[in-house]
Structure 1
Amino acid sequence: MNQIICLIDDDPIYQTITKKIIHKSEAARKILSFPNGAEAIDGLTKLVQQPEEFPDIIMLDIEMPVMDGWNFMEHFQKIKTIFPKEVSVYIVSSSIACSDKERSKSYNGILGYFTKPVTLQNVLEIAKS
């Protein structure tokens, strides 16, 4: 597939494992990664002038230092009109709380909620939608 996937998660081990799963799935031509929401907003804003490098999919953790996933989504909703294309966001979290799953439904841009650890099947499902 010819997609760019962006991982936003503070856990470097999770990022390494998920990158390997994405590579195995052949779901992306490129993987971007950021350790928190603030760095992701900054990085995505810098990519606005390079639409060919802008992600198609964001896999977002909820619990992170500096800026968590919910704060990221608040900022993302405000600035997404400047992005060169529509971006699909999926929550990938260790939280199994029903309140988090329900909260994710309140954001237009969030298309799904997956519980860690992410699997090859999850990645394929995300990439197809």
Structure 2
Amino acid sequence: MVAHSHTVLLVDDEPVFNFITESLLKRVNLVKEVYSVFNGREAMKLLQESFQGLHNIPSHIFLDLNMPIMNGFSFLEEFSKLPRDQKEDIKIIVVSSSENPSDIAKVKSYGVEDYISKPLSPDTLKEILQ
């Protein structure tokens, strides 16, 4: 049995996506904790609280692009402004239904770890987390 090793933050405005992904993450048995939020603003709030010791700092953020309030691009812009020591161990994986080449190029310019099309599979999650 593989030990839990990651804390994951899901940022997606679709509750069904968050529920299914959280279930898949638990099934691959590589996470110790999963947080779910519905937009970039909630994600930034959770990150700030994590840096203050109120939550575990996520090792991975699975980020949707198209969300209300603060979309994925705005989140990436805010994340890029964080001090390097706070964000250097956090990997961002964009998970989107968009396969628009300009979207992919734009998020890659922020140094995201990967860009994956929905839906996620257990094998994809294992590959990302191992």
Answer whether TM exceeds 0.5 for this pair.
yes
* Number of positions where the alignment pairs a residue of Structure 1 with one of Structure 2: 127
* 1:35 match: 38
Q: Which residue of 2 aligns with 1:13?
A: 16
Partner of 2:109: 106
For the aligned residue pairs, the C-alpha RMSD in angstroms reads 1.6
CA, structure 1 residues 96+21, in 2 after alignment: closer, same or farther (shift >3 Å)? same
Aligned to 2:124: 122
Per-residue CA distance 1:24-74 (angstroms, 9 max, x = gap): 111201001110000110111011022871100000000000000000000
The residue number in structure 2 matching 1:74 is 77
Rounded to whole Å, the distance in 2 between the matches of 1:16 and 1:98 is 28
Q: Which amino acid aligns with 1:78?
A: K
Note the alpha carbon deviations across 1:66-122, whole angstroms, 9 max, x for none: 0000000000010143627610000000111111111121112x0100000111111
CA change 1:113–1:95 in 2 (3 A) is same
Q: CA separation in 2, counterparts of 1:52 and 1:17?
A: 22
SS in 1 for 2:94: strand
The equivalent of 1:55 in structure 2 is: 58
Which sections of structure 2, spanning at least 5 residues, go unmatched? none
Shift in alpha-carbon separation, 1:2–1:14, aligned structure 2, 3 A: same
* Alpha-carbon distance change, 112 to 51 in structure 1, aligned in 2, over 3 angstroms: farther
Cα gap change, 1:85/1:107 in structure 2, threshold over 3 Å: closer, same or farther?
closer
Identity of aligned residues (%): 31
Question: TM-score scaled to structure 2, two decimals?
Answer: 0.91
